[in-house]
Amino acid sequence: MEQLQQIAAQLGIDQSFYTVFGAVTVLYFLLSAVYLKPYQRLLERRKDSIEGVKKQAQGLASQAEEKFNQYRERLRLVTDQARSVLRSAEEGARKEESSILSQAGNKAKVSLQNVQAQLDTERKNLVDAVAPEISVLAVEVATKVLGRPVTSNRH
């Protein structure tokens, strides 16, 4: 113990040191109970709440990712359905176009045949109507060319 007293004397530690040390110790425990421990609990609660919010955010992010994947899948299905409907509508339109063109071609052919028949009938009627006049004109032309009267064999 004497050595401790000598070391304390060399360091300049006297009776006031023990008083200050005791006061600091009491002050430490007092401040620890009043200030430090509530502050540490506050920090721990904040840390726990932050971790809870992080977990909640991760859960929400995974839900959002899942919903986004579902949305993409639905969008793909709807796009495929739309393409299918479009293809079937195009095929129907092509068939209808082909049918309409075929009908129009048939109508045009029938109309052309009717017009041709009508023209043939009109030509025949015209030839029949002009035939007597042609023979008269032919006799007149022959008479003028030959210089003598020519008679028609037609009666």
Question: How far apart, in whole angstroms, are the C-alpha atoms of residue 152 and residue 135?
Answer: 7
Q: Please state the pTM of the whole predicted model.
A: 0.43
The structural domains of the chain, with segments of one domain joined by +, span 2-146
Q: How far is Cα 133 from Cα 105, in angstroms, rounded to an integer?
A: 42
Place of tokens 């035939």: 131
Taking only the tens place, the pLDDT of each residue in 6-39 is 887 888 777 888 888 899 999 999 988 888 899 9
Tens of pLDDT, residue by residue over 56-87, are 999 999 999 999 999 999 999 999 999 999 99
